[in-house]
Amino acid sequence: MMMGGFGGWTMMLFMVIFWVVIVGLAVWFLSALFPRSSTRDGSLQTGGSAVDILRQRYARGELTRAEYEQMRRDLEA
């Protein structure tokens, strides 16, 4: 038995709405899973200069003082 007229269009409309919701949820989930870092004004934040990254690594304890000083001298030369 075939649906005609209003019932067919309604079914198609609900199918389109269903897929829009599914795609929207997928985009939202992926954006929550892989957040973009940005500054307060909304522009994307770069990793910073090499010296800034070096300072951060030293502050986190990834480098000893000697390693930090040597790398800093190398970068500033």
CB 54 within 8 A of CB 72: yes
What percentage of residues in the chain have a pLDDT greater than 90? 53
Whether this prediction's pTM lies above 0.85 is answered by: no
pLDDT class of 46 with cuts at 50, 70, 90:
low
pLDDT for 77 equals 79
pLDDT for 37 equals 64
The contacts found for 2-6 with CB under 8 angstroms, 24 or more apart, are none
The span from the CA of 27 to the CA of 23, in Å, is 6
Q: Reduced to 3 states, what is the DSSP secondary structure of residue 49?
A: coil
